[in-house]
Structure 1
Amino acid sequence: MKHAPLYPLFAALLGLSALPAIASDATFEAVKISAGEQLFAAECRRCHATDAQHDSYGPPLENVIGRAAGSYPDYDYSVALEASGIVWTEPALRAWMADNQGFMPGTKMRHVGITDPTVQDFILAYLRSITTRDGKAIDN
């Protein structure tokens, strides 16, 4: 899969490393979330919405971090995923993004692997930003 349209985004993000120390951790996290949102739109959105208000083929991914795999209400999961006992932690999501068929044999999701750890970092930053516990966003 081509990622050419994303190269300017990566160049801009790499340029941030040259910023003076004035740029705070919060600013950097906001940039990661923004990049993650764009990467999510390019790589994940064709199948997954972020919330139940939008149509999607796969289950919505809002509040996915910390959710038991195969537990989103009224979604027809594969037997393998439903019976896995896995909780979607960030390491589990990384493994899923990289090779979901290898991570979970028998899943029905067709997927092109996202193996670049930086791309995974950005997508996870975005998923964290749309994951809440008790009405509050979760931390890294």
Structure 2
Amino acid sequence: MRALIKTTIALAGLAALSACGGGASEDSTGAAPSEAAVEPSVEVAFADVTGDPAAGEGAFGQCRACHSLADDGPGVGPTLYGVVGRPAGSVAGYNYSEANGSADVVWTDEVLFEYLGDPSGFLPGTRMMIPGIDDAQRRADLIAFLEANAAE
């Protein structure tokens, strides 16, 4: 008997929702949509954003755990002193992964922008421990900070 009561209450609730528009949504023509609206993914290039060195200082906080801007050699990660324009795997005394050490890459603004979005996707085998910086503006700000503070 309890199951019958619960079923009756559930069906009554569904009927009430349907009557007040709680069912499938309709557009202004009264037709139900065939699919949910999906926002298209937008690729952002480095040229589409302007980096702010002051804002990039905040982004560098995450890097500071492993990297420095000093020209005194590597720490946990290679120094980022002068990284923009430098070939990958070229900091003396740093033990690079095979991927970084043999990469035929120069760290231009554009390359850094792409790399910082997905380090292991850009350079499989890298030991870079971050999953990437999704926010394009934050990446551009970080690169601007690295350029502005290359001689810190």
Same fold, judged at TM 0.5 (above): yes
2:56 — aligned with what?
36
2:108 — aligned with what?
89
1:124 — aligned with what?
143
- TM-score (structure 2 length as normaliser): 0.61
Distance 1:91 1:105 in 2: 18
2:120 corresponds, among 101, 104, 117, to 101
Larger Rg: 2
Q: CA RMSD in A?
A: 2.1
Bigger drift between 103-112 and 45-54 goes to 45-54
Query: For structure 2, which runs of at least 5 residues remain unmatched after alignment?
Result: 1-49
Query: For structure 1, which runs of at least 5 residues remain unmatched after alignment?
Result: 1-28, 133-140
Distance 2:135 2:127 in 1: 23
Distance 2:72 2:96 in 1: 19
Q: Which has the higher helix share?
A: 1
2:129 — aligned with what?
110
Considering Cα pairs closer than 8 Å and 6+ residues apart, tell me whether 1 or 2 has the greater RCO. Answer: 2
Bigger drift between 52-61 and 101-110 goes to 52-61
Shift of 1:83: 0.8
Shift of 1:120: 0.8
2:94 — aligned with what?
75
Contact preservation (8 Å) 1:46, 1:56 = no
Structure 1 runs (4+) deviating above 6 angstroms are: none
Shift of 1:91: 1.3
Per-residue deviation, residues 30-75 of structure 1 (Å, max 9, x unmatched):
x92111112201x211111111448731011010000000000000
Distance 1:108 1:54 in 2: 18
Distance 1:60 1:45 in 2: 10
Residues 1:89 and 1:63: Cα distance change in structure 2 (over 3 Å):
same
Percent identical: 36
Amino acid at match of 1:127: L
Amino acid at match of 1:86: V
| Matching of residue 58 in structure 1 with residue 58 in structure 2 | no
